[in-house]
């Protein structure tokens, strides 16, 4: 009787398993699994770090075209596609005002932890083990839409979701650059290269007065001015810092770099004590976004004036 009961139970289990796993004559395999959320319908155990848990071999290419590595990444020969048809989406709204948020993102270079390695071994990991990315906890504060909590308590993020964000940020920045470019073109329309705009500003009238006075100086001073040079700042336009190079003659007695806004108001001044080739770093954080004129004075005479653009 017990033997008969065991055979009936075994038959029931076998029949149930057959119903869940089906193999057709053409080789198609179907698995029907009743699993809870985040539970696996199919789990593969691999023996080593780099063993593959799934490979897709294509006879046309005579090679693997897709595989899932036991180390935790997948590879596909021609990339992946994600459902993006408009018929799959609803509540569609534009992404706006993201340039400032993108500026808050911090890209990092890192290595994934390997719990099977000692700390000292971790420090000796190969250069190829380094990756580039973001910290999910930081990104969540700025773009919570791209971060998801996993069942094990860690956070994951969709890097592809940041692509449209970066695209819109570039477009916003381009609008700013074009606006500044139009202002620069308008400013320079009535002025020659490397001269102040002829707008009868207080700054211009002041410089004209100084030019008349400087023409009366000695030939030694005039020679010093002629040998001085001012170069275009780089980068330009800039958003963080920019660098201004110059050359000060050895015979000069004083040198100064002045920054004015387009209305002729002096914003900053830098005393220059270096003779020969020198440089000054202008901090973007000390200025508002916009267009500025910077002028090199040697012996209180104008050497040259150039324009720079600060963006945000």
Q: How far apart are CA 265 and CA 206, in angstroms?
A: 12
Assess whether 156 and 223 both reside in one domain.
no
Q: How far apart are CA 51 and CA 45, in angstroms?
A: 9
Please check whether residue 188 lies inside any domain of the structure.
no
Please check whether residue 135 lies inside any domain of the structure.
yes
Assess whether 303 and 252 both reside in one domain.
yes
Q: Residue 140, exposed/middle/buried by CB under 10 A (0-12, 13-18, 19+)? A: middle
Please check whether residue 181 lies inside any domain of the structure.
no
pLDDT tens profile 5-20:
444 444 344 444 445 7
Q: Which of 76, 104, 137 is the last residue of a domain?
A: 76
Identify the pLDDT of residue 120.
52
CATH number for the domain harbouring residue 206: 2.60.40.10
Two structure tokens written together for 141: 């504060």
Q: 221 and 213 in contact (C-beta within 8 Å)?
A: no
Assess whether 145 and 197 both reside in one domain.
no
Q: How far apart are CA 295 and CA 165, in angstroms?
A: 39
Please check whether residue 184 lies inside any domain of the structure.
no
Rounded to an integer, the average pLDDT of 59-83 is 90
Identify the pLDDT of residue 122.
52
Q: 311 and 176 in contact (C-beta within 8 Å)?
A: yes
C-alpha dihedral sign at 112, 114, 120, 124:
negative
Please check whether residue 179 lies inside any domain of the structure.
no
**Cα separations (Å) of 116 from 49, 164, 226, 312?**
10, 38, 69, 45
Q: Which of 76, 110, 132 is the last residue of a domain?
A: 76
Q: 283 and 292 in contact (C-beta within 8 Å)?
A: no
Quick check: 212 pLDDT over 90?
no
Assess whether 159 and 212 both reside in one domain.
no
Helix 202-215 / helix 219-227 crossing angle, nearest 10 deg: 130
Identify the pLDDT of residue 197.
42
Short-list 205, 203, 251, CA closest to 225: 251
Q: How far apart are CA 48 and CA 64, in angstroms?
A: 19
pLDDT tens profile 114-161:
777 665 555 556 777 788 999 999 999 999 999 999 999 999 999 999
Assess whether 221 and 304 both reside in one domain.
yes
Mapping DSSP onto H, E and C, the string for the chain reads CHHHHHHHHHHHHHHHHHHHEEECCCCCEEECCCCCCCCCCCCCCCCCCCCEEEEEEECCCCEEEEEEECCCEEEECCCCCCCCCHHHCCCCCCCCCCHHHHHCCCCEEEECCCCCCCHHHHHCCCHHHEEEECCHHHHHHHCHHHEEECCCCCEEECHHHHHHHHHHHHHHHHHHHHHHHHHHHHHHCCCCCCCCCCCCCHHHHHHHHHHHHHHCCCHHHHHHHHHCEECCCECCCECCEEEEEEEECCCCCCEEEEEEECCCCEEEEEECCCCEEEEEEEEHHHCCCEEEEEEEEECCEEEEEEEEEECC
Q: Which of 50, 76, 102 is the last residue of a domain?
A: 76
Q: 160 and 143 in contact (C-beta within 8 Å)?
A: no
Please check whether residue 183 lies inside any domain of the structure.
no
Assess whether 207 and 261 both reside in one domain.
yes
Assess whether 72 and 97 both reside in one domain.
no
Please check whether residue 126 lies inside any domain of the structure.
yes
Assess whether 203 and 153 both reside in one domain.
no
Please check whether residue 205 lies inside any domain of the structure.
yes
| Banded pLDDT at 68 (limits 50, 70, 90) | very high
Query: Domain of 291?
Result: 193-310
Identify the pLDDT of residue 217.
43
Domain count, the chain: 3
| Banded pLDDT at 164 (limits 50, 70, 90) | very high
Q: Which residues, other chains included, contact 167 with Cβ-Cβ below 8 Å and sequence gap of 6+? A: none
């Amino acid at each position: 009787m017990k033997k008969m009961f065991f055979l009936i139970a075994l038959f029931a289990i076998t029949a149930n398993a057959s119903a869940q796993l089906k193999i057709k004559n053409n080789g198609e395999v179907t698995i029907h699994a009743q699993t809870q959320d985040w539970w696996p319908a199919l789990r593969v155990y691999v023996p080593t770090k780099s063993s593959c848990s799934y490979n897709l071999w294509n006879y046309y290419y005579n090679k693997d075209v897709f595989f899932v590595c036991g180390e935790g990444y997948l590879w596909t020969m021609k990339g992946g596609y994600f459902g993006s048809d408009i018929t799959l989406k609803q509540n569609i709204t534009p992404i706006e005002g993201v340039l400032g948020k993108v500026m808050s993102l911090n890209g990092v270079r890192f290595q994934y932890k390997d719990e099977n390695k000692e700390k000292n071994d971790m420090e000796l990991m190969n250069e190829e083990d380094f990756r580039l990315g973001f910290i999910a906890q930081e990104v969540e504060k700025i773009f919570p839409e791209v971060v998801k909590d996993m069942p094990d308590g860690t956070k994951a993020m969709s890097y592809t979701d940041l692509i449209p964000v970066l695209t819109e940020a570039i477009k916003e920045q381009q609008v700013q650059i074009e606006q500044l470019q139009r202002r620069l073109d308008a400013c320079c329309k009535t002025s020659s290269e490397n001269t102040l705009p002829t707008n009868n500003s207080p700054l211009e009238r002041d410089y004209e007065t100084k030019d008349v006075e400087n023409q009366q100086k000695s030939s030694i001073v005039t020679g010093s001015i002629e040998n001085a040079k001012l170069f275009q700042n780089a980068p330009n336009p800039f958003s963080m810092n920019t660098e201004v190079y110059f050359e000060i003659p050895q015979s000069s007695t004083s040198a100064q770099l002045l920054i004015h806004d387009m209305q002729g108001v002096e914003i900053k001044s830098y005393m220059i004590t270096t003779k020969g080739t020198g440089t000054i770093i202008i901090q973007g954080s000390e200025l508002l976004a916009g267009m500025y004129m910077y002028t090199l004075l040697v012996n209180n005479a104008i050497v040259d004036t150039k324009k720079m653009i600060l963006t945000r």
